[in-house]
């Protein structure tokens, strides 16, 4: 949740003092009691109060990551938040529904479902809600599924996209972005310093190897076009 002034030692101290037992307790700290503890001056308390207050507006993905759900890293937390739009939808969703979200899969879905089925978690969520912590999306914008059913592999460094952003853009348009090239691949997008083995595999299979300009057009139209190809056999 990126709370300024709340490092590991501070967390341990708050737990030892009995002020915090779960993440929800961070939003209901007894500040008067803390003022009587050595090492906690008015400035440090005010800074922590401000950091905790600011964290209430963090994106849902940050909250999901902060809850420390097994197997759910920051990238997948963002995917889950965008697909559902609200923590309550995640809490209520069956495992199969979570697993059907592009990029989530059965392992993460099972872990998320097990986490929210734990009887200790419900009260934590309610503490967060009562404190005014943001539990909402935003939902990912609806995009035309121009790449529905198509596999587009990305390799190398793109100037306008991180690898994660490029793969997310493909998936947001209904496509898949596997880590390897196959004869079913629509194209291999090659940035700077592309993987030589992937390029060789694409050329062997007759899969187009395209540049970033062609990739941008592909996202817009779902078509490779006649320009921007680095190779075509």
Residues 177 and 122 in one domain: no
Say what the pLDDT of residue 60 is. Answer: 95
Residues 79 and 35 in one domain: no
Q: What is the mean pLDDT of residues 104-122?
A: 95
101 in the same domain as 49: no
In a domain? residue 211: yes
Q: Which two tokens stand for residue 141?
A: 């914008």
Which pLDDT score, from 0 to 100, does residue 102 have? Answer: 76
pLDDT at 165 over 90: no
For residues 51 and 64, state if they share a domain: no
Q: Are residues 222 and 157 in the same domain?
A: yes
- What is the average pLDDT score of the chain? 90
**pLDDT above 60 (res 233):** no
pLDDT at 141: 66
Q: Are 38 and 77 contained in the same domain?
A: no
Distance CA 50, CA 71 (A): 31
Q: Is residue 26 part of a domain?
A: yes
Q: Tell me whether residue 36 is in a domain.
A: yes
- Residue 140: CA atoms inside 13 Å, Cβ hemisphere, count? 20
Residue 18, domain extent = 8-55
Are residues 186 and 218 located together in one domain of the fold? yes
Q: What is the pLDDT of residues 126-164, one digit of tens each?
A: 999 999 999 998 866 667 889 988 999 999 999 988 887
- Write the CB contacts of 149 (distance below 8 Å, at least 6 apart in sequence): 174, 175
As for how many domains the chain has, the answer is: 3
Average pLDDT over residues 185-202: 94
Residues 64 and 99 in one domain: yes
Asked if 55 contacts 72 with a C-beta cutoff of 8 angstroms, the reply is no
Burial 91-116 (b: 16+ CB within 10 A, else e): bebeeebbbebebbeeebbeebbebb
CA distance 132 to 56: 6
CA distances 6 to 2, 92, 111, 226, Å, are 8, 31, 27, 54
pTM equals 0.63
Residues 16 and 68 in one domain: no
Asked if pLDDT for residue 227 goes beyond 70, the answer is: no
Show Cβ contacts of residue 107 under 8 Å, excluding neighbours closer than 6 positions.
Answer: 71
Asked, for residue 173, whether it belongs to a domain, the answer is: yes
Domain check: are 38 and 103 in the same one? no
What's 158's domain CATH number? 3.40.50.10190
Banded model confidence at residue 31, pLDDT cuts 50, 70, 90: very high
Per-residue pLDDT tens for 211-222?
Answer: 999 999 999 999
Structural domain includes residue 25? yes
CATH assignment at residue 99: 1.10.150.20
What pLDDT does residue 161 have? 82
Query: What DSSP state is assigned to residue 23?
Result: G
**Of 37, 55, 73, which one is at a domain's C-terminal end?**
55
Lowest mean pLDDT among 83-87, 154-158, 171-175: 171-175
What pLDDT is recorded for position 232?
41
Q: If we measure between CA atoms, which residue out of 112, 109, 114, 90 comes closest to residue 99?
A: 109
**Pairing label, strands 185-190, 229-231:** unpaired
- Is 141 within a domain? no
Domain match, 166 and 226 both: yes
| Residue 100 pLDDT > 90 | no
* Cα–Cα nearest to 172, from 194, 156, 150, 202: 150
Q: Is residue 145 part of a domain?
A: no
Do residues 76 and 115 both lie within one domain?
yes
* Mean pLDDT value across residues 186-199: 93
Residue 208 has pLDDT above 80, yes or no: yes
């Amino acid at each position: 949740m990126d709370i300024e002034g709340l490092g590991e030692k501070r967390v341990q101290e708050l737990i030892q003092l009995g002020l915090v037992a779960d993440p929800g307790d961070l939003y209901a700290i007894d500040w008067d009691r803390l003022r009587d503890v050595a090492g906690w001056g008015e400035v440090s308390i005010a800074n922590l109060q401000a950091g905790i207050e600011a964290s209430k507006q963090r994106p849902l993905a940050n909250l999901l990551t902060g809850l420390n759900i097994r197997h759910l890293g920051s990238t997948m937390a963002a995917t889950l938040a965008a697909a559902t739009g609200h923590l309550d939808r995640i809490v209520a969703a069956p495992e199969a529904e979570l697993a059907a979200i592009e990029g989530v899969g059965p392992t993460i879905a099972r872990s998320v479902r097990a986490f929210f089925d734990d009887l200790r978690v419900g009260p934590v969520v309610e503490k967060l809600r009562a404190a005014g912590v943001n539990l909402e999306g935003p939902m990912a914008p609806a995009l035309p599924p121009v790449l529905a059913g198509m596999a587009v592999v990305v390799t190398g460094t793109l100037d306008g996209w991180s690898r994660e952003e490029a793969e997310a853009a493909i998936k947001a348009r209904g496509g898949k972005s596997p880590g390897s090239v196959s004869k079913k691949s629509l194209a291999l997008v090659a940035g700077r310093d592309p993987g030589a083995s992937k390029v060789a595999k694409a050329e062997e299979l007759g899969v187009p190897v395209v540049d970033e300009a062609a990739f941008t057009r592909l996202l817009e139209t779902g078509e490779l076009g006649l320009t921007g190809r680095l190779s075509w056999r």
